[in-house]
Each structure stands twice: as structure tokens, then as C-alpha cells.
Amino acid sequence: AQSVAQPEDQVNVAEGNPLTVKCTYSVSGNPYLFWYVQYPNRGLQFLLKYITGDNLVKGSYGFEAEFNKSQTSFHLKKPSALVSDSALYFCAVRESTGGFKTIFGAGTRLFVKA
């Protein structure tokens, strides 16, 4: 069975500093990994995904994620945080055998302080 873990409930970072939001996964086949962001009282927005290819994936709003197969991780990163990046971030995995089901991590709340 597929699963994702986000070990941190909350991450605090100062504006201008680099940020990392952690995600580890467990899958029985090839991992298909996603990051989504949710602002208050809004739906989720897609940031980036890893399907195959380069381990460093670039996405929206300056975010990137590094796929590490040996550590089964897919951490979200940004070189310089903005106050407007403050939101709830979800890591997610799709079933590797096909199908539409996406399994979301518990979420990590990011606070960026000015």
C-alpha cells in the first residue's frame, strides 16, 4: 500500500531564508509524487510532480523538489522564502498500478516571518 509521511506539523522560517518541507514515501512500485499548496479557505493548488527523469523537479512560484530514491524522500525546497508562501503544504502519491486515487500526507503548515 502507498503512503506518504510529512514528519513536521509546522515549519517556521524567516523571509529571505531557504525553506525545506519534508516528505517521505512508501510505495510498492514506481513512485509518482506530487506537492500541493492550500491557502486559507481555498482549494489545493498543484506545485510540482515527479513521474520520471531528473531528480530535481522545478515547479510553480520558485519551488523545487528533490527526489531521492535511496532515502525514499521528496522534499520541497525554495531558495528564498516569501511571507506569501505561508500556507499548508501537502505531499501526495498516486497509485503506481494506475487508477485515480491520490494519497495525501497529513500536511505541513509553513509560517514565513517578515
Residues that bind other proteins (CB under 8 A): 32, 34, 36, 41-46, 49, 51, 88, 90, 94, 98-102, 104-107, 109
Output the smallest distance, CB 16 to other proteins, in A: 27
Output the smallest distance, CB 114 to other proteins, in A: 23
- Phi, psi at 61, each rounded to 5°: 55, 30
CA–CA dist 111, 105 (Å, integer): 18
Give strand pairing partners of 89: 37, 108
Output the smallest distance, CB 36 to other proteins, in A: 8
Give 46 or 113: the residue with its C-beta nearer to other proteins: 46
CA–CA dist 91, 50 (Å, integer): 11
Output the smallest distance, CB 100 to other proteins, in A: 5
Give 68 or 96: the residue with its C-beta nearer to other proteins: 96
Please tell me whether residue 37 adopts helix, strand or coil conformation: strand
Give 85 or 89: the residue with its C-beta nearer to other proteins: 89
Q: How far is CA 12 from CA 8, 21, 113, in A?
A: 10, 10, 7
